[in-house]
Amino acid sequence: MLSNNIKWLIKDRELTQRELAEKVFVHVNTVQRWCAGETEPHAGDLYRLSKYFGISMESLMEDDYERFDR
């Protein structure tokens, strides 16, 4: 699930939700909603997340979030 992947990446990179929000140009509440599974990132947000984390958009959306192709 995408929300689990985002949470895992935040933890793996030792970021706060606020830091991620600043890096991908969204409000911290947006990242909080992504992590809670309340909403999903729009296409542009997915693109910025994938570029920031250095993974493909497809990998970001995979079910097995510990298997990213870095």
Please write the tens of the pLDDT for every residue from 21-36: 999 999 999 999 999 9
- What ranges do the domains of the chain cover? 2-61
Written as tens digits, the pLDDT of the chain (70 aa) is 899 999 999 999 999 999 999 999 999 999 999 999 999 999 999 999 999 999 999 989 987 655 554 4
Q: Compute and round to an integer the Cα radius of gyration of the chain.
A: 11
Task: Check: CB of residue 69 under 8 Å from CB of residue 7.
Answer: no
To 10 degrees, what angle do helices 17-24 and 43-53 make?
110
Question: Could you give the CA distance from residue 17 to residue 35 in angstroms, rounded to a whole number?
Answer: 9
Topology at the third CATH level for domain 2-61: 434 Repressor (Amino-terminal Domain) (1.10.260)
Name the token pair of 23: 């890096």
Q: How many residues does the chain have?
A: 70
